[in-house]
Structure 1
């Protein structure tokens, strides 16, 4: 459909030409949004390099609403590098927290995501900063979804393991398991906010909970 041109996962030479042509004709205030959404479609299709390039363009866009879209673009960039290049992911998450402290236009999970990186790295000061980030999210976060609280508890469990706090690790694991068994938040949107965890994570949770 014509209205979905910026949601297409295609990125052939013809598709790129068509996208750029439509983007040039679009209202300037909407271009950053189209770039960000197109990047998501490409990332889902495995075109991660192209997706990152579009998200970078969001960050330099001068449109009326580009600043709002840049928050999401920074999160997408951080997420895309979290496993492949944690240092670069950390850069984008920190930039997001600095430039968009309200976290509007994001999942509002950046404190948890950054904490996860620091827990895995475990350099001097990392674990304390991770603890501060997780505490901040617990106190300030207003995310109602079980999936978000599940992720926080898994991060808290990992932090407690790293610091040798076995009781806290056990309690966090038990809370995460309880959340994993919760149902959908919205009856009409059953996939929104639900817990998604791989077999390895669930096995580890059960082991630590017991």
Structure 2
């Protein structure tokens, strides 16, 4: 998993509430267990028409936001099913940070597990950041995870809170498996002791 320290990029504004995981990645694209290749299907039902052509009015199809690294929405982002494909699709598109007033719990957790930073900020702040984002390439946001700050294009600093353990894992680029492997030596020592303590008896055979 790539480290997340400081991100300066264009942010895509999507002023919608209750964006569920089926909107983020429709169920018909869940046939894969690969984490790559899903970015082209991100928000497929809003990005493309019935013939598969791009809808020019959808934010991610606009030239300024085709390489956006931040997505800003409204309340309850990621509700619906628990599919981990949702953060996979966001990450494969290039989104490393999502900002909203609130998140569905499982989606929030899945973001951290896949290297995406979810930031909860008050609704009025999210709306102000969306106003910044509407300036497209002329206004870039900075997210500094080390300092726990979002920096607006005009220099205003907005602090945010994040779970310390999850923050450290993102800063170090550690997913759950990599975090476990940090204790590889201790795990191997424990297994060796357990193997010595449990020796099957052959008596009575």
Smaller-chain TM-score bracket: under 0.3
More strand per residue: 1 or 2?
A: 2
Point out the structure with the larger helix share. 1
Q: Which has the larger radius of gyration?
A: 2
Between 1 and 2, higher relative CO (CA 8 Å, sep ≥ 6) is seen in 2
